[in-house]
Structure 1
Amino acid sequence: MSVPVLRVARPTNNPAALLPFYRDGLGFAVIGQFTDHAGFDGLMLGHARAPYHLEFTREHGHAAGGAPSPEHLLVFYLPDADAWLAAVDRMRRAGFAPVPAHNPYWDQHGLTFQDPDGYRVVLQRAAWER
């Protein structure tokens, strides 16, 4: 059975402001973008072999607002210690410092970073156990 591709889409007021966080910090690649498609601009970011990608859209003439709460998270599980350290170092080199997690659970084995819209990403140094 093939695995479906997951697209996580959310609005933003400024897709260009998010680019350094997701591309330079998290290591995503720009996999697509569009301008003024039925009143929307968009930016899609992903990893070459990952079955997911992110889409950020801006609707002309509308304010998107920011994250509704500090618990709106994307969590990336990185069980390999070297890979986790490299990911954290990449975020710091791109100019992003960790923030305290709202839920202290995430601080036990990971670090949380906040994007320019106020949404948070957790780099969790653990394996996802099913």
Structure 2
Amino acid sequence: MPISGRSHIRIARPSRDLAAAERFWAGGLGLKVVYRAEGGDAPGEHSLLMLGRPDADWHLELVHEASRPVEPRPTEEDLLVIYLDGDVPDELVGRLVEHGGTRVRSPNPYWNEWGVTVADPDGYRLVLCKRGWSNA
């Protein structure tokens, strides 16, 4: 089968402001910029920011097209969950907020009990879960 547990996953989203998104995801969470492309103002040209970790089988792609921006439309259930398998460090949550995030409560009590939810500058939600994936 061509899809395996090691298949790379790209999570792609529009962004209003790639600089603000980079502050949150790189400066706040600690992801690395794995690729960047600066687009122009002509139709079809877009700027691209990919963030991840060198050892991960996934990355986050954020796109902005100046000539035809797509407004992000996240719901409170659009989540990127990272399982920490341990307590969520207060200093990490503080750094995310300092870098443009907003701590929010989840409508799902599970995430409030087992983690911390922070909205990024575009409104997409990151959940830092203190459980490990195997016992989630």
Same fold (TM over 0.5): yes
Residues 29 and 95 in structure 2, CA contact (< 8 A), matched pair in contact too: no
Segments ≥4 residues shifted beyond 2 Å: none
**How does 1:50-61 map onto structure 2 within 5 Å?**
50-61=56-67
The whole-number CA distance in structure 2 between the counterparts of 1:57 and 1:32 is 12
Q: Number of aligned residue pairs: give it.
A: 126
The equivalent residue for 2:128 is 123
Of the three residues 5, 20, 23, the one matched with 1:20 is 23
The equivalent residue for 1:68 is 74
Of the three residues 76, 91, 94, the one matched with 2:93 is 91
Deviations 1:1-43 (A, max 9, x none): 7711111111112111111110111110111100127511000
Bigger shift: 15-24 or 36-45? 36-45
Residues 79 and 124 in structure 2, CA contact (< 8 A), matched pair in contact too: yes
Of the three residues 99, 111, 120, the one matched with 1:106 is 111
- Corresponding position: 1:8 with 2:8: no
Identity between Structure 1 and Structure 2 (%): 35
Letter in 1 for 2:64: R
Bigger shift: 90-99 or 62-71? 90-99
Secondary structure, counterpart of 1:45 in structure 2:
strand
Residues 91 and 97 in structure 1, CA contact (< 8 A), matched pair in contact too: no
Q: Structure 1 residue 97: deviation in Å?
A: 4.8
TM-score (norm 2): 0.83
Deviations 1:71-95 (A, max 9, x none): 11000001033xx32xx41230341
In the alignment, structure 2 segments of 5+ residues that lack a partner are: none
The equivalent residue for 1:45 is 51
Q: Structure 1 residue 111: deviation in Å?
A: 0.3
